[in-house]
A = this chain, B = another copy of it.
Amino acid sequence: MHTSEALALSAALLAAAGDLTRRINDGVVARGFEGRPSYGFAFTRLARGGATVTELGVHLGVTKQAASQLVDELVRKGYVERLPHPGDARARLIVLTERGRECTRAAEEAAAEAVRAWADVLGEEQLGALRAQLTRIAPSGPIRPVW
């Protein structure tokens, strides 16, 4: 691969990620929820038993302060709630509310819909390959734009 193509690959990657993220967010909004794209990524972390603010920040690649602000927002919209953490009185356990779980499902549906559009272009096999390649490439990259 030539040097000039490397930058093009980066651009294509960014374009694809941006396209997918936008589609998902549009789909979630169309289903009657209000939210930013980062909600979805927060939800995936919270879905399994909740998380602390700090853990959420690590998952999203932002400071705990930023994560705390996001949680404020999610609480205000009724998607999550802060519970006392069992076993650590300093911490709070952030968990999804019923409405939060509904929104999570909406995000998953929207994501599936967006990916289906890609499957129409690439075919199931290529799409599976794409997913496999991506997970091998960046197993632990930050789930956020570095722009």
Give chain A's interface residues, CB within 8 Å of chain B.
Answer: 1-22, 24-25, 36-38, 40-41, 44, 61, 107-109, 111-112, 114-115, 118-119, 121-122, 124, 126-131, 133-147
Contacts and interface: CB of A to CB of B under 8 A. Distances in A.
A146 B22 contact: yes
Nearest to A121: B136
Copies of the protein in its oligomer: 2
A141 B17 CA distance: 8
Contact of A144 (B108, B136, B140, B147): B147
B16 A138 contact: yes
19 contacts: A1-B112, A3-B112, A6-B108, A9-B111, A10-B24, A10-B40, A15-B139, A16-B137, A16-B138, A18-B61, A18-B142, A19-B141, A22-B146, A36-B147, A37-B146, A37-B147, A38-B147, A144-B145, A144-B147
